[in-house]
Amino acid sequence: MAGLTGWHLLALVVIVLLLFGAAKLPALAKSMGQSARVFKGEMKAMREEDAPAGQADSTEAPKNSGTTASDSGTVAGPDRVS
């Protein structure tokens, strides 16, 4: 398929004018602008909510690997108790 040319865009503008009318276009553009602004604001709020959680993970103390300095290195099985 070929890309959009100037004629395609012109035809699209004419169709939009016929569907919505010239009087309704400013209101439609305003509504779309407000919707885009709200969407951007919500995306920014979501990023700000996620950022503190990511920063808290990096400042948290490292997890214990399961070994300590007092371990003797022997493993007690189900039959043995050390």
Whole-prediction pTM:
0.43
Mean per-residue pLDDT for 69-79?
Answer: 60
DSSP state of 22: T
Binning the chain into helix, strand and coil, the percentages to the nearest 5 are: 60, 0, 40
Spans of all domains in the chain: 15-57
Under a CB-based contact definition with an 8 Å cutoff, are residues 47 and 53 in contact? no
Instruction: Give the Cβ contact number of residue 17 at 10 Å.
Output: 12
CA-based torsion, 71, 72, 78, 82: positive or negative: negative
Model pLDDT, residue 45: 94
Closest by CA to 13, choosing from 69, 4, 73, is 4
Q: What is the pLDDT of residues 16-33, one digit of tens each?
A: 888 888 888 888 889 999
